Amino acid sequence: MEFIRTLLLVALVPATSALDNGLLRTPPMGWMAWERFRCNVDCKNDPKNCISEELFRDMADRLSEDGWRELGYEYVIIDDCWTSMQRDKDGRLQPDPSRFPRGIANLARYIHDRGLKLGIYADMGTGTCMGYPGTTLDKIEIDAQTFASWGVDYLKFDGCNSNAIEQMMGYPLMSKALNSTGRPMAYSCSWPVYVGGLPPNVNYSLLGDICHLWRNYNDIQDSWDSVQNIVDWFTTNQDDVQPAAGPGRWNDPDMLIIGNFGLSSDQARSQMALWAIMAAPLIMSNDLRTLSNEARAVLQNRVAIGINQDPRGVQGRRLIQEKSHIEVYWRPLSHSASALVFLNRHQDMPYLYRTSLSKLKYQTGGYKAYNVFSGKTVTDLTDATEFTVSINPSGVVMWYVYPAKTSKPLQVRGMHKSHRIASPQLQKDKMNRPFVL
């Protein structure tokens, strides 16, 4: 036992600055295979949808050609089931030769040539969640070196088939190993989800020093119920998890499932709004080749993206939970702006919700509010003005709120000048403070 304690100290103490590499100052954006394509390895019968280099090339093409990259969606992330069932003769992970015949380094070059970045999956344990080779403690360094040699930009490090001691040692050790390669790689940890996601089992100060983002809770599924369960967990525990987030360190409620089969149009807007409020990674898992125009409009909503990517990096909170099943969420943004989301948990009827900014603890003054999904601006708004929002079943109304005296436009990567709205520029501003709540 003393040997284990010594190893833990060796593993943990030097790792506290291991991820100080300047990455992910805003939440990462991109695309990941898992929720939509799972572990489909049947390339003979389903070649367009199996986990193969062709799938990731297709998604890279779509990100680079359909306007996603310009908005910030830059990562193409491989999840489980990409490896051969055995390591090579030198103990290195290797891709399945029939599904990735040109290798991961070749795929990385293809993705980099399109101005994008490659993410990959590994598992802190004896095997991955789907039974492929895992990364045991003695393989951490060689796996980090392998990923760097291939040109990988992002590692998702899962935790199936490992115990608590291995996780306590392995996640910090992988942070050190990635840093030692000399290649800047974003590091996504699944550690919290395997120990319940909350203190005292999770030390968020340590976690923020060794990881750029982390999964706190269960995997998302393609359903509104799953989205609600995740939101419920984060809001119930917001006092514990919300302070942990900030530039370079993000809570991850899991992938965006917009454009799949489980969400209505209103529910899709709800997930996008809530993920923006939570400063969550915007990692899509869908089929970009067949995405509907409606789903694309939600995912490419420039103002929602701008809110999500606000450089202050303050994660939002639920302010109000009404007996009427209405919830109100708030997030402070740069230049004294903020975002509000009014969520209707009813699934069978719209709801007219009446309130005022003063009831939401805004300071005295005049404001404007831009409706993120309708594109309309509410003017002549003071803190005392009573207003009513009509919220569709399982839908949201999302406002971008800013002082009336402000006239600078909201700047969003990829936004044409004609699309800018009269609201503050989103850039680093450490001097301004959020509205007092």
**Residues with Cβ within 8 Å of residue 377, at least 6 apart in sequence:** 368, 369, 370, 371, 421, 422
CATH of the domain at 381: 2.60.40.1180
Reference 159, options 121, 129, 115; nearest CA is: 129
Quick check: 23 pLDDT over 60? yes
Domain co-membership, 209 together with 341: no
CATH of the domain at 122: 3.20.20.70
Per-residue pLDDT, averaged over 57-86, amounts to 98
Residues, the chain: 437
Domain co-membership, 182 together with 330: no
Quick check: 274 pLDDT over 50? yes
Domain co-membership, 22 together with 160: yes
What percent of the chain shows pLDDT beyond 90?
86
Domain co-membership, 263 together with 385: no
Question: Count of domains in the chain?
Answer: 2
pLDDT confidence of residue 157:
98
Domain co-membership, 287 together with 345: no
pLDDT confidence of residue 406:
79
Residue 340 half-sphere exposure, CB side, CA atoms within 13 Å?
24
Per-residue pLDDT, averaged over 35-58, amounts to 98
Cα distance between residue 409 and residue 417, in whole Å: 9
Cα distance between residue 298 and residue 269, in whole Å: 6
Reference 79, options 113, 30, 44; nearest CA is: 30
Quick check: 367 pLDDT over 90? yes
Contact 312, 341 (CB under 8 A): no
pLDDT confidence of residue 4:
40
Distances (CA, A) of 69 to 82, 114, 292, 357: 24, 9, 18, 36
- pLDDT tens digit string along 133-162? 999 999 999 999 999 999 999 999 999 999
* 320 residue type, one letter: I
Reference 347, options 250, 251, 254, 224; nearest CA is: 224
Distances (CA, A) of 138 to 90, 105, 123, 401: 13, 23, 13, 51
pLDDT confidence of residue 289:
98
Q: Is residue 32 part of a domain?
A: yes
Cα distance between residue 429 and residue 423, in whole Å: 15
Range of the domain at 409: 317-419
pLDDT confidence of residue 9:
42
Domain co-membership, 193 together with 257: yes
pTM for the whole structure: 0.92
Domain co-membership, 102 together with 198: yes
**What average pLDDT is seen over the chain?**
91
Residue 391 β-bridge partners = 351
Q: Is residue 24 part of a domain?
A: yes
- pLDDT tens digit string along 369-425? 999 999 999 999 999 999 999 999 999 999 999 999 876 556 556 543 333 333 333
Quick check: 56 pLDDT over 60? yes
Of 95-99, 177-181, 250-254, 404-408, the one with minimum mean pLDDT is: 404-408
Dihedral sign for Cα atoms in the order 10, 12, 17, 22: positive
Reference 60, options 77, 41, 42; nearest CA is: 77
Domain co-membership, 32 together with 65: yes
- Of 253, 270, 300, the position where a domain reaches its end is 300
Tell me which of 108 and 11 has the higher pLDDT. 108
Which of the residues are catalytic? 158, 219
